[in-house]
Chains A and B, each alone.
Chain A
Amino acid sequence: QQQVKQSPQSLIVQKGGIPIINCAYENTAFDYFPWYQQFPGKGPALLIAIRPDVSEKKEGRFTISFNKSAKQFSLHIMDSQPGDSATYFCAASLMNRDDKIIFGKGTRLHILP
């Protein structure tokens, strides 16, 4: 059973556009929802994360929207740049239990110059 479902699998956006990546989770006990950015040959790097007690979090050009009742959350990238081209993973975890991170399948994002 896939605990974190991510879509789309791949995404192509023109420079300056706003790519949106969506995720849905099953376990209502999850209390930590991070997004990771991964470049080829590198480990994932934390981009932004949200806890379920807020509906939105913004850091620079990256925004997470969180809908607890729908068990969904999404990543928006404002004013996207070619350097944002990477694979993005949403994830979920039980932070207070120091628990493992459950990853979505990833979205390969390509920003056209």
Chain B
Amino acid sequence: GAVVSQHPSWVICKSGTSVKIECRSLDFQATTMFWYRQFPKQSLMLMATSNEGSKATYEQGVEKDKFLINHASLTLSTLTVTSAHPEDSSFYICSPRTGNTEAFFGQGTRLTVV
């Protein structure tokens, strides 16, 4: 399967600070990037979809000013959680896709806001 590299795997930050999560597709070019959030013992919930070079499309209820997504290249997308609060603590997972292919997922980032 395709190689997806997501960093960091876990991060702890203080309330009010910002955290950046990187997602790289190492052996294919991702025209589309999906970002998911997963709370404990729950399913993956789509947060936003971004296409390379375009603004991200956010799902209902997801604050675009809080979760900044950049998809500047076909191999790299970033999710920045701005002014993080404890309720933002979650498991964040990226999923790059290209064309008519199966979906691959990053290893996830465990964010804890204290």
Contact = CB atoms under 8 A, between A and B. Distances in A.
Interface of A: 32, 34, 36, 41-46, 49, 89, 93, 95-96, 98, 100-101, 103-106, 108
B107 A42 contact: yes
Interface of B: 1, 4, 6, 31-32, 34, 41-44, 46, 49, 91, 93, 95, 97-108, 110
Given A42-B108, A43-B93, A103-B43, A98 B102 contact: no
A interface, over-half SS: mixed
Contacts of A106: 42-43
Given A41-B108, A43-B107, A98 B97 contact: yes
Contacts of B93: 43-44
Contacts of A95: 100-102
B95 A101 contact: yes
A108 B99 CA distance: 31
Nearest to B59: A100
CB-CB nearest 8 A-B residue pairs: A43-B105, A43-B108, A43-B107, A103-B43, A105-B43, A103-B44, A43-B93, A106-B43
A34 B103 contact: yes
9 contacts: A32-B102, A41-B110, A43-B106, A46-B104, A98-B97, A98-B99, A100-B49, A101-B44, A105-B42
B1 A46 contact: yes
B22 to A, nearest CB: 14
B43 A104 contact: yes
Contacts of A103: 43-44
A104 B44 CA distance: 8
Nearest to B105: A43
A44 B46 CA distance: 14
Contact of A49 (B31, B34, B97, B102): B102
A32 B97 CA distance: 14
A46 B103 contact: yes
